Amino acid sequence: MFGLKKLTRRQVTDSMSDGFSAASQTAKTGATSVYSTVMNHPKTTGAVVLGTAAAAAIWWLMRNPERVEALRKQIASRTEDLRNSRLAKRALGQDRQPHA
- In order, the DSSP letters of 29-44 are HHHHHHHHHHHH-HHH
Q: Please tell me the distance from the alpha carbon of residue 38 to that of residue 83, in angstroms, as a whole number.
A: 44
Q: Please tell me the distance from the alpha carbon of residue 72 to that of residue 41, in angstroms, as a whole number.
A: 37
Chain centre to alpha carbon of residue 95: 41
pTM: 0.44
Q: What is the pLDDT of residues 24-74, one digit of tens each?
A: 999 999 999 999 988 999 999 999 999 999 999 989 888 888 888 888 899
Q: Please tell me the distance from the alpha carbon of residue 100 to that of residue 90, in angstroms, as a whole number.
A: 20
